Structure 1
């Protein structure tokens, strides 16, 4: 079929076959590969057959949620050892877990990282030591499900200065929240919403865990999406919502603390963008090796092979970029410009890669049957969320020149 690999008969055992051209998988331990193999088998056997129908209906396949949780992927026992899990799994494992999910479907990857990336980071960075001790084990085993609620109807890229949800502290020490949040994925099935609001007393941003069913909380599903259709995004209204001081994230006292979370989380989106490229590339490669036109396999034409080579180049460069970023972060190097560069560049490559995949599949590329159309459409949401291209470019430009070009 033209899917040659370097390992000959071992090809069937490789987790990342053609799409891992420079063998980044070799950085994983045998135990890490075993856990990821368990995930891949589940996705291939249980998830993939459902995706086209649920994507078309705009519904999340909820029957996959608990089995995915039961796979114990966030901090697998094989990687953290027996007893209390105080030695977290490596960052490179977390990255490849995202890659594998996104390689199957962007909504599945977004759903899982809403808990394992965004919400977990909110607790890890924003909660006090006492709060972490109580909540983090529940985050890891999904007994406390949460979402990151930052974006607002009128503020996305300008959320640092435009955040308008308010928090007022009463004489009893507790808080009242008013405002709205938008594009919050997974909110309808969360236990709590990690809501960011501006303290009217000092003008600084604070963060709160809000019970999804608290009085004054209203969730509305966002309809008519043409991207990430399976992911359930919500518009959230907060009207005089009472939150106890014990549910405030005690280490979030300004937007700088929120920025620290974004700095850590942006690499997850770069891994998603890379996984989408892998899924689109594999689907297109499979198609051109099977499809015949003019009496020949499509894969035998020069222009087809040139497009495949460009796609593989984009994917390989993106995978190399996110792997290196993850290694830096594992060494304690967290810089805004590093995660911004990875997100910006992997998403640029993703956009071209999914477009080339759609070209290669021709008219069939606009149907869900080949998987290409789903990756092509979902890429547009990933291109914009967790920092648009322009915002990430300005973060990089500021680091390069020492001058901020952000609007004041």
Structure 2
């Protein structure tokens, strides 16, 4: 039997009603506004109708990949490739925000491919390697993944144990990795391993058909369920010297890639928060209890205002962060603070939105529970909220609280 509240909410979901309280769109260039509109329309048309079913099944919607490629949203201020769309950092952030506003799993697929795999090659590879790998990845003819975290090394990934040993013109990689998204089905995966000779971290492009590479899907997740995370075993995995990213000579080089992705997580968190607030506001105006809309309740209004305040603050964070990147002024600690604040606040917004929806908040029909569960991953990956706070704390006090 049809429920008019649910039906009306479904009609309105994805429209981001009333979420630009400080008129932030006025801060965008014409091209940035165009990117926002194009990705928003794509997400509402192509992703939203299938998001819940794929999320519930824990499967990835592979049919979206060529459609995303056709959207031409691979672009970044750091990456100037033939056929790639020129974008400001704000424009690239808006892509991530809008994809995440619809579904964080699809956004994570995109972020891993572009922000981690492609940027590793872009920042750490030679010019020949950039020309070899990046154009085909920009067209999504090849999909990338990124392997840094290990079963025993997450927050302390600087202590990674995977090894790489030079043997003539080849490298032999051994070790385990855990959690890389896209890793079950990607074409290329960037593997970070420690050189046994100089003990420094190096990066390698490993192809999926390498006999020394084995990826097994991680099951039992209740967050980012579409993302095909993997446990990886590298057993005498041989790659040529040409597959070693020539500009990666220490963990500090890897950290350059991670700094950019923390900016991405801030935008992704904002997207989840915008969606959760939008749904909660719409629901409160539609849902009637005790003979009146619940939006007339002081408690519900207080919750909505709290959510809107956090959403607006995150918008200000992200816009300013993007402009700092475009001006070449971004520092690692700025990215860390943005990732910390936005991910924690977005999780709070999603939890509060779930409360506004009451019992309906736990059903996929209303989408909030999917965003709430997915935010648990965003708070954790690319450096947990706690690690980001220690990075910023060390900067402002001059004292390191790391072990």
The alignment's TM-score, normalised by the length of structure 2, stands at: 0.92
Alpha-carbon distance between aligned partners in 2 of 1:84 and 1:65, rounded to the nearest angstrom: 20
Match of 1:125 among 118, 123, 126: 123
* Alignment correspondent of 1:257: 253
Deviations 1:319-358 (A, max 9, x none): 1111111111111123111000000011121121011101
- Partner residue of 2:230 out of 228, 234, 246: 234
Flag the 1:159–1:84 CA change in 2: closer, same or farther, 3 A. Answer: closer
Q: What residue number does 2:6 align with?
A: none
Contact 2:16-2:274 at 8 Å conserved across structures: no
Q: How many residues align?
A: 389
Change (3 A) 1:87 1:298: closer
Label 1:374 to 1:86 Cα distance change in 2 as closer, same or farther (>3 A). Answer: closer
Distance in 2 of aligned mates of 1:258 and 1:42: 33
Cα distance in 2, alignment partners of residues 257 and 272 from structure 1 = 24
Give 3-state SS (helix, strand or coil) of 1:133's partner: helix
Name the counterpart of 2:332: 336
**What is the distance in 2 between the residues matched to 1:99 and 1:69?**
18
1:310 aligns with: 306
CA distance in 1, matches of 2:50, 2:131: 38
* Alignment CA distance shift 1:189-1:36 (3 Å): farther
Distance in 2 (CA, whole Å) between partners of 1:189 and 1:52 is: 22
Aligned equivalents of 1:91, 1:215: Cα separation in 2: 38
Partner in structure 1 of residue 89 of structure 2? 91
Q: How far apart, in 2, do the equivalents of 1:286 and 1:61 lie?
A: 28
Partners of 1:376 and 1:193 in 2: how far apart? 29
CA distance in 2, matches of 1:279, 1:69: 24
List alignment gaps of at least 5 residues for structure 1. 1-11
Aligned counterpart for 2:180 among listed residues 176, 181, 184:
184
Of 144, 164, 168, the residue aligned with 1:167 is: 164
Runs of 4+ in 1 over 6 A off after TM superposition: none
Separation of aligned partners in 2, 1:87 and 1:281:
31
C-alpha separation in 1, matches of 2:133 and 2:24: 34
Q: How does 1:8-407 map to 2 (within 5 A)?
A: 17-75=17-75, 84=82, 88-161=86-159, 163-170=160-167, 172-407=168-403
Shift of 1:164: 0.5
Cα distance, 1:85 vs structure 2: 5.2
Conserved 8 A contact 1:102-1:275: yes
Q: 1:243, 1:294 → 2: CA distance?
A: 68
Computed over aligned residues only, the root mean square deviation of the Cα atoms, in angstroms, reads: 2.0
Instruction: Check conservation: 2:82, 2:135, Cα contact below 8 A.
Output: no
Deviation string, structure 1 residues 38-72 (Cα, Å, up to 9, x no partner):
22222112211111111111111222222112111
In structure 1, what is the Cα distance between the partners aligned to 2:389 and 2:59? Answer: 34
2:17–2:278 contact (8 Å) kept in structure 1: no
Counterpart contact for 2:279–2:366, Cα < 8 Å: yes
**2:352, 2:294 → 1: CA distance?**
14
Do the aligned partners of 2:146 and 2:190 also contact (CA within 8 Å) in 1? yes
Taking a change above 3 Å as real, the CA distance of residues 86 and 352 of structure 1, as seen in their structure-2 partners, is closer
